[in-house]
Structure 1
Amino acid sequence: MRLIQFQTVQGQRHVAVVEGDTLLVVNGAASTRELALDAIRKGHGLAEEVCARGTQPSPSSYRQTLQDGRVLAPLDHEDPAHCLISGTGLTHLGSASTRDKMHQQNIGDQAALTDTARIFQWGIEGGRPPAGTAGVQPEWFYKGDGSIVVRPGAAFEKPAFAEDAGEEPELTGLYVVGDDSKPYRVGFALGNEFSDHVMERRNYLYLAHSKLRNCSYGPELRVGELPRNLSGMSRILRGDEVVWEKEFLSGEDNMCHSLENLEYHHFKYAQFLRPGDVHVHFFGTATLSVADNIQTREGDRFEISMEAFGEPLINGIKAGAAELPAGQVATL
Structure 2
Amino acid sequence: MLLVQFKDPQGRRRAGVLEQDTIRVIDGFDSTYALARAAIRRGGGLAALAAESVGAATCSYQQVAAEGRLLAPLDHADQAHCFVTGTGLTHLGSADARDAMHKKIDGDVGALSDSMKMFRLGVEGGKPAPGQLGAQPEWFYKGDGSVVAASGQPLAMPDFALDGGEEPEIAGLYVIDDNGQPCRVGYAIGNEFSDHVTERQNYLYLAHSKLRACGVGPALLVGELPAHVAGTSRIYSADGALRWEKPFISGEQNMSHSIANLEYHHFKYPLFKRPGDVHIHFFGTATLSFADGVSVQPGETFEIEAPAFGPALRNQLALKELAQAPVTTL
Fold shared by both chains (TM-score > 0.5)? yes
What residue number does 1:87 align with?
Answer: 86
Residue 104 of structure 1 deviates from its aligned partner by: 4.4
What residue number does 1:264 align with?
Answer: 264
Using the alignment, how far apart are the partners of 1:104 and 1:184 within structure 2? 39
Residue 319 of structure 1 deviates from its aligned partner by: 1.3
Letter in 2 for 1:173: G
TM-score, normalising length: structure 2? 0.96
Conserved? CA contact 2:104–2:113, under 8 Å: no
What residue number does 1:19 align with?
Answer: 19
1:331 to 2:308 alignment: no
Conserved? CA contact 2:103–2:113, under 8 Å: no
What residue number does 2:32 align with?
Answer: 32
- With 118-127 and 313-322 compared, the bigger mean Cα shift is at 313-322
- With 303-312 and 240-249 compared, the bigger mean Cα shift is at 240-249
Conserved? CA contact 1:168–1:285, under 8 Å: yes
Name the CA shift for 1:112/1:39 in 2 (closer, same or farther; >3 Å): farther
- With 95-104 and 195-204 compared, the bigger mean Cα shift is at 95-104
- Measured against aligned partners, the alpha-carbon deviations of 1:201-255 in whole angstroms (never above 9, x if no partner) come to 0000000000001011100000011110111000000022211111101000000
Conserved? CA contact 1:169–1:193, under 8 Å: yes
What residue number does 1:248 align with?
Answer: 248
What residue number does 1:321 align with?
Answer: 321
Using the alignment, how far apart are the partners of 1:298 and 1:97 within structure 2? 27
Residue 113 of structure 1 deviates from its aligned partner by: 6.4
Residue 103 of structure 1 deviates from its aligned partner by: 2.1
Letter in 2 for 1:227: P
Letter in 2 for 1:331: T
Letter in 1 for 2:264: Y
What residue number does 2:42 align with?
Answer: 42
- Measured against aligned partners, the alpha-carbon deviations of 1:286-320 in whole angstroms (never above 9, x if no partner) come to 00011111011110000000011110000001110
1:275 counterpart SS class: coil
Name the CA shift for 1:104/1:240 in 2 (closer, same or farther; >3 Å): farther
Using the alignment, how far apart are the partners of 2:186 and 2:164 within structure 1? 28
Query: Aligned Cα RMSD in Å?
Result: 1.7
Name the CA shift for 1:168/1:299 in 2 (closer, same or farther; >3 Å): same
Residue 183 of structure 1 deviates from its aligned partner by: 0.3
What residue number does 1:292 align with?
Answer: 292
1:203 to 2:217 alignment: no
Using the alignment, how far apart are the partners of 1:185 and 1:216 within structure 2? 19
- Measured against aligned partners, the alpha-carbon deviations of 1:74-124 in whole angstroms (never above 9, x if no partner) come to 000000000000000000000001100122499xxxx99611010100000
Conserved? CA contact 1:103–1:113, under 8 Å: no
Moved over 4 A (4+): none
Q: What runs of 5+ residues in structure 2 fail to find an aligned partner?
A: none
What residue number does 1:302 align with?
Answer: 302
Using the alignment, how far apart are the partners of 1:203 and 1:191 within structure 2? 25
Name the CA shift for 1:45/1:132 in 2 (closer, same or farther; >3 Å): farther
1:193 to 2:192 alignment: yes
The percentage of counterpart residues that share the same residue type is 55
Using the alignment, how far apart are the partners of 2:268 and 2:132 within structure 1? 12
Residue 8 of structure 1 deviates from its aligned partner by: 0.7
Q: For residues 135-284 of structure 1, what are the structure 2 equivalents within 5 Å? A: 135-238=134-237, 239-284=239-284
Using the alignment, how far apart are the partners of 1:112 and 1:188 within structure 2? 37
What residue number does 1:100 align with?
Answer: 99
Residue 64 of structure 1 deviates from its aligned partner by: 0.5
Conserved? CA contact 1:112–1:203, under 8 Å: no
Letter in 2 for 1:131: P
Conserved? CA contact 1:7–1:70, under 8 Å: yes
Residue 53 of structure 1 deviates from its aligned partner by: 2.2
2:249 counterpart SS class: strand
1:311 counterpart SS class: coil
Q: What runs of 5+ residues in structure 1 fail to find an aligned partner?
A: none
Residue 20 of structure 1 deviates from its aligned partner by: 1.3
Conserved? CA contact 1:22–1:57, under 8 Å: no
- Measured against aligned partners, the alpha-carbon deviations of 1:141-191 in whole angstroms (never above 9, x if no partner) come to 000000111121111111110000100000000000001110000000000
Using the alignment, how far apart are the partners of 2:179 and 2:240 within structure 1? 50
Conserved? CA contact 1:15–1:30, under 8 Å: yes
Letter in 2 for 1:207: L
Using the alignment, how far apart are the partners of 1:124 and 1:195 within structure 2? 24
Letter in 1 for 2:256: C
Conserved? CA contact 2:16–2:54, under 8 Å: no
Letter in 2 for 1:167: E
Letter in 2 for 1:142: Y
